[in-house]
Amino acid sequence: MISLKNVGKKFSTADGEFQAVSSVSLEINKGDVYGMIGFSGAGKSTLLRMINLLERPDTGSVFVNGVDLTKLAKKDLLKQRLSMGMIFQHFNLLSNRTVSENVSFSLEIAGVAKAERKKRVNECLEIVGLADKANAYPAKLSGGQKQRVAIARALATQPSVLLCDEPTSALDPQTTESILKFLQEINENLGITIIIVTHEMEVIKSICHKVSVMEDGRVVETINLADSQFKPKSNIAQFLFKKELELQKEEGIVNVR
Ligand SMILES: Nc1ncnc2c1ncn2[C@@H]1O[C@H](COP(=O)(O)OP(=O)(O)O)[C@@H](O)[C@H]1O
Ligand SMILES: [Mg+2]
């Protein structure tokens, strides 16, 4: 469904050019919950933003449902972008708009008529369980509620993909768990493909089917978490999955006995 081919991005900085992402290729299937993990500065956010071309790659191609986004005219790109919702660590809600006005925002950009917008906003607030907060302002909401509003806004245009940049990194562990459970339901019930960038292993372990491990702008390894005997090869993946590898080893010993 999404296929990145040799995408790269460099930024000009005061110290010269900096290669944030170097020739990354990967495939994400429809219905996947796909994780990207790595330390701060690894290039995760830049890579995620290249999937909907918020960041235009210097090299390579981004195929979504067979269409190369890097080749589209601006108008067609904006249309494609509506099929991809996005949520962020700090929610990015508009503080001077109510909850329902925030959710309505993406529909206004999409040019949806007022009556239809109202109907869809209500549906989305029902999905995230915040219909009773429709007229509240973001400042009155908890972190978890704010992220739910952001999810409702992302879902409003009925995207087939949800891009999540550190969606739980500003939340406490309990709220993190409930938001992750909620993202999993969205994936299972609405069939939406989810791509999550995070530096938190708990996020990967709790809901991802696959994970790409990033280091210094490269994907060093992609692991299929459905395989309970997965064997990380890179040092960084072995470090991140240390506990799982120890468990595999213990189980192996038990099975041999
Ligand atoms: N707009 C930009 N201008 C200059 N450098 C940037 C810009 N965006 C990101 N970078 C740099 O690129 C590297 C990767 O950033 P980022 O993709 O945000 O990493 P991550 O999300 O893994 O922490 C970092 O060193 C960051 O400072
Ligand atoms: Mg980031």
The confidence score (pLDDT) of residue 250 equals: 87
Q: How far is the CA of 118 from the centre of ligand 1 (A)?
A: 38
Yes or no: domain 2-83+160-229 corresponds to CATH 3.10.450.50: no
Give the residue among 88, 82, 197, 85 at the shortest CA–CA distance from 146: 88
Res 251: pLDDT: 83
The ligand with the least distance to the CA atom of 46 is 1
Closest CA to 166 of 32, 35, 75: 35
Q: What is the pLDDT of residue 122?
A: 97
| Residue nearest ligand 1's atom 3 by CA | 11
Find, among 91, 84, 109, 82, the residue nearest to 162 by Cα: 84
Ligand 1 pocket, residue 40 CB under 6 Å: yes
Where residue 196 falls (left for φ over 0; alpha for ψ -120 to 50; beta otherwise) is beta
Are 149 and 93 in contact by the 8 Å Cβ rule? The answer is yes
Distance 4 CA to ligand 1 centre (A): 19
Tell how far the Cα of 66 is from the centroid of ligand 2, in angstroms: 27
Closest residue by CA, ligand 1 atom 14: 43
- Per-residue pLDDT at 253: 76
DSSP per-residue codes, 226-246:
TSTT----SHHHHHHTHHHHH
Instruction: Report d(CA 157, CA 52) in Å as an integer.
Output: 15
Q: Where are the domains of the chain?
A: 2-83+160-229, 94-158
Tell me which residue has its CA closest to atom 17 in ligand 1: 43
232 Cβ below 6 A of ligand 1: no
User: What are the residue ranges of helices labelled H in the chain?
Assistant: 44-51, 74-81, 99-109, 114-127, 143-155, 173-190, 201-207, 235-240, 242-256
253 Cα: distance to centroid of ligand 2 (angstroms): 39
pLDDT truncated to tens, each residue of the chain (257 aa)?
999 999 999 999 999 999 999 999 999 999 999 999 999 999 999 999 999 999 999 999 999 999 999 999 999 999 899 899 999 999 999 999 999 999 999 899 889 999 999 999 999 999 999 999 999 999 999 999 999 999 999 999 999 999 999 999 999 999 999 999 999 999 999 999 999 999 999 999 999 999 999 999 999 999 999 998 899 999 999 999 998 889 888 888 777 66
Element (H, E) at 16: strand 16-28
Distance CA 184, CA 191 (A): 10
